[in-house]
Amino acid sequence: MGLRKNSELDPLRPVIDRALPRDAQGLIAQLRSPEIELRRWAARDLAAHPDTVRALGEQLLQEQDSSVREALFTSLGTMATPDSVSALLPLLRRDDAQLRNRAIEALAGMPRAVAPRITALLGDTDVDVRIFTVNLLGELRHEQVPQWLLMVLANEQEVNVVAAAIDVLAEVGQPEHVAALRATRQRFAQDPFIGFTADMVIARIESP
């Protein structure tokens, strides 16, 4: 049997790139995939695209898989921008304690980005948000932490928020904070728990 001429050969099939697109828009599309593995890898890779922080935050609000959640938190923490903070703060209002606590941990890892938001958070109308913000101060490595705590002692009316601030001062309090603790003890003279915790922290600070 003779060879067929080239002109008689079947045309070559076009080469198709089967790899999923790794640009920002392609990754955002994969972030919404029903496949967990695709969402997880997209969440990780989007750390290199700070302009996609909104998409990461939106996904975090609805993501149910813990491994994808962790990848989302990691990417937002890697970015550590004011927009990252904006994406994480809504989680302080969620009922899911695990999600909330992980958000606090992530925010604590970006002290410079979150610092400009602390005063407003301590004045939030939601008591729980104020408590969680004080919890954040307990993890935050920022030179203004004592000043923010003193602001809570001086101005806060809700006893649970004040108690949380006293607890944090047990770890970061210095001798110059004793006067504020005594003033708080006097301000909440009718609350034995505040009196007990304030006295305990004062004793710890003043102990040699």
Q: Which amino acid is at 179?
A: A
- Kindly state whether residue 159 falls inside one of the protein's structural domains: yes
Mean pLDDT of 148-165: 98
The pLDDT value recorded for residue 19 is 57
Three-state DSSP at 135 gives helix
Domain range for residue 192? 143-208
Digit-coded pLDDT (tens) for 75-125: 999 999 999 999 999 999 999 999 999 999 999 999 999 999 999 999 999
Q: Residue range 177-184: average pLDDT?
A: 97
Alpha carbon distance 184, 75 (integer Å): 40
* Count of domains forming the chain: 1
Mean pLDDT calculated for residue range 143-149: 97
Residue pLDDT, tens place only, 19-61: 567 789 999 999 999 999 999 999 999 999 999 999 999 999 9
Name the amino acid, one letter, at 82: P
Say what the pLDDT of residue 208 is.
Answer: 75
Asked whether residue 191 is domain-assigned, the answer is yes
Does residue 169 lie in a domain region? yes
Element (H, E) at 92: none
* Residue 206 within a domain: yes
Is position 193 within any domain?
yes
Which of the pair, 44 or 11, is modelled with greater confidence? 44
Would 153 be classed as within a structural domain?
yes
Query: What's the mean per-residue pLDDT of the chain?
Result: 91
Question: Does 70 fall in a domain?
Answer: no
Q: Which two tokens stand for residue 168?
A: 């944090």
Average pLDDT over every residue of 125-148: 98
**Nearest by Cα to 122 from 97, 154, 98:** 154
Are 77 and 102 in contact, with CB atoms under 8 Å apart?
A: no
Distance between CA 106 and CA 140 in Å, rounded?
A: 10
- Cα–Cα distance, 86 to 204 (Å, whole number): 37
Q: Is 126 among the domain residues?
A: no
Q: How far apart are CA 7 and CA 28, in angstroms?
A: 45
**pLDDT score of 11 more than 70:** no
Distance CA(99)–CA(146), nearest Å, equals 26
**Residues 24/52, Cβ–Cβ less than 8 Å:** yes
